[in-house]
Structure 1
């Protein structure tokens, strides 16, 4: 039997920690044996949000929040192993993404916290973490990394496939037969919509896009946001809360201060859908299918907007390819741990802009 790997992914939505139990083999097969999501406690979520903005005693907060994140992840790993009746000794390694609190590829760094040493201590399993810094050291963006897994698992020898992961931010993968993979962050995914929903409804997110569906997109606001130079840039490119945050939205709203809250939500949904659609039109005109993963795949309103904006594409979940949209990223980080274990590269220079393929990650032995 192939060895088992645990993958841990905590994205910019900060809603929970996704954990998967997987195995892989050299025939390009991935098997997700079990999975769960550990909800993010409100106090830890706020600590992590605070770390995403400059100010205060950030070094202290980073240490405290990183340890809290590791303890929560360890609880989730133990719960998953119990749920799947798997002994820790059966798991070769944990691939832990950690929690991104700063992403500045233009400065050559991206910071993920999550105390991999503590995670190894608490689980008794080797941890492989720090996946982004080696790509950054080679001149890359350090992100997105999941397109490499998409390429390994989902490439089709006869047709172009396009995938988009819609988490807090959205990233595109274009898989063409016999050609380098294209991939980049298209812009905001759920992050701005989630923040606006929390501020005006008290709910953690806009389930199914029901609130956005009640509003009407404000065209002038949408046009102003779409004029941001990030959207006109070609890849490789990546982004995060450092760029698209509440202050970014507030600056645009100053020009239209009286827009109803539901209309702003509708406009933010249209912004996400439009920037994804424009990216697909630019990078994947020869594709006829768009496969969606991440939390955005559960947003029926957003999926309908994408289908409306991309009538030539069949917009559907990655479940149609045999991979749950909920667990794609966590499986990818289990795969990156497997790649590290095999001393195989985990990045794609055509996606990140790195100077070449690199083995990603650092080992923290149990």
Structure 2
């Protein structure tokens, strides 16, 4: 690791664009250095749009398409990094701060491939940390997932350690549910190891189907899904995918659950696009509920973050499928649900620069604790 002096500031900036690639979430976070449990304050959070042409290229690539050339891939890596850097600079400016007040940027990048079961396994996020550090003049930590994969883990999910630091309590069994492009759980039992895993598609499939049939990038409040009816036969075919029966640790992405995957399960039945949307929403609700019952059936409370928390229809179906569990937004516990993941990558940068491991082998399946990320000094 490069020799970077200890941070003079407790202010960090996290950046992430998730599976849906619906925008770059940026969060300025101030950490309390000596409190236990950890305390952090969201100073400011913003979501910055992708250039539409760049977003389309990233989505096509993330769904398994091949690049035209190595030149095209290299260009996408640099363009993605510039978009992340500009998001960071815009947020610092909007907060009325100087770049020098930020100890470091933690950048997730944009996932284009996630193959933990390949031989050899790999995961790949675009967004060159060199470019981000150079453009912003701020120490940057990036490429968080690949060290865990190199150590035999899935490299995902990475948020459980952050969730545990902020939301664990000895008073009740909790779970944190992130409803991003892909759904994932962090299990926080009163006693015992923290666990975490992906549950399957969440917003990515619903967003893509909604955009195709309505022209809107997402289904606001779940209204499109609510206008249709669940197709039980289609739902059964979707649930038959062998991935859902895999035990944790498990992770996935857009390269597996995409529109072509859905289209292969469609037939000539007399169903409307709204019916398919309703079925996709039910797929998310049932896979979330089934996963929780299989892994931590005595969960008292589920804390939900990610864009799906705003989908009222989805939240209602998850709540209905978990009648003995309190389902609520992380906002009820002081964490803005839209920026929990970006805050988590700010925390990961902090841990990396302090030389502390931030993966959880009980979550990812890695051979041991590892310091994650590559450091790019300003």
Would you call these one fold, judging by a TM-score over 0.5? yes
Decide which of 269, 280, 285 is 1:273's aligned counterpart: 285
Q: Hey, what does 1:110 align to over in structure 2?
A: 123
Decide which of 354, 361, 364 is 1:342's aligned counterpart: 354
Aligned to 2:369, the other structure's residue is in SS state coil
What is the rounded CA distance, in whole Å, between the counterparts of 2:258 and 2:21 in structure 1?
14
Q: Hey, what does 2:112 align to over in structure 1?
A: 101
Moved more, 355-364 or 31-40: 31-40
Moved more, 210-219 or 74-83: 74-83
Q: Hey, what does 2:192 align to over in structure 1?
A: 179
Equivalent residues of 1:94, 1:128 under 8 A apart: yes
Post-superposition shift, 1:37?
A: 0.7
Equivalent residues of 1:212, 1:262 under 8 A apart: yes
- Which structure 2 residue ranges, 5 or more long, are not aligned? 1-7
Post-superposition shift, 1:322?
A: 0.7
Aligned to 1:311, the other structure's residue is in SS state coil
Equivalent residues of 1:70, 1:114 under 8 A apart: yes
Q: Hey, what does 1:328 align to over in structure 2?
A: 340
Q: Hey, what does 1:86 align to over in structure 2?
A: 97
Equivalent residues of 2:9, 2:103 under 8 A apart: no
Q: Hey, what does 1:353 align to over in structure 2?
A: 365
Q: Hey, what does 2:241 align to over in structure 1?
A: 228
Q: Hey, what does 2:17 align to over in structure 1?
A: 10
Decide which of 188, 202, 205 is 2:218's aligned counterpart: 205
What TM-score comes out, normalization by structure 1 length? 0.97
The answer to whether structure 1 residue 45 and structure 2 residue 58 are counterparts is no
- Which structure 1 residue ranges, 5 or more long, are not aligned? none
Q: Hey, what does 1:299 align to over in structure 2?
A: 311
Aligned to 1:76, the other structure's residue is in SS state helix
Post-superposition shift, 1:64?
A: 1.7
Decide which of 173, 176, 181 is 1:168's aligned counterpart: 181
Q: Hey, what does 2:41 align to over in structure 1?
A: 31
Aligned to 2:45, the other structure's residue is in SS state strand
Post-superposition shift, 1:48?
A: 0.3
Post-superposition shift, 1:215?
A: 0.1
Q: Structure 1 residues 75 and 276, CA, compared in 2 at 3 Å: closer, same or farther?
A: same
What is the rounded CA distance, in whole Å, between the counterparts of 1:149 and 1:58 in structure 2?
38
The answer to whether structure 1 residue 248 and structure 2 residue 248 are counterparts is no
Q: Kindly provide the CA deviation profile for residues 292-321 of structure 1, in whole angstroms up to 9, marking residues without a partner as x.
A: 100000100100111111111111100011
Aligned to 2:261, the other structure's residue is in SS state helix
The answer to whether structure 1 residue 259 and structure 2 residue 266 are counterparts is no
The answer to whether structure 1 residue 143 and structure 2 residue 137 are counterparts is no
RMSD: 1.2
What is the rounded CA distance, in whole Å, between the counterparts of 1:258 and 1:345 in structure 2?
53
Q: Hey, what does 2:4 align to over in structure 1?
A: none
What is the rounded CA distance, in whole Å, between the counterparts of 1:257 and 1:104 in structure 2?
34
The answer to whether structure 1 residue 71 and structure 2 residue 78 are counterparts is no
What is the rounded CA distance, in whole Å, between the counterparts of 1:44 and 1:59 in structure 2?
16
What is the rounded CA distance, in whole Å, between the counterparts of 1:76 and 1:238 in structure 2?
27
Aligned to 2:48, the other structure's residue is in SS state strand
Equivalent residues of 1:134, 1:358 under 8 A apart: yes
Moved more, 152-161 or 256-265: 256-265
Post-superposition shift, 1:230?
A: 1.1
Moved over 6 A (4+): none
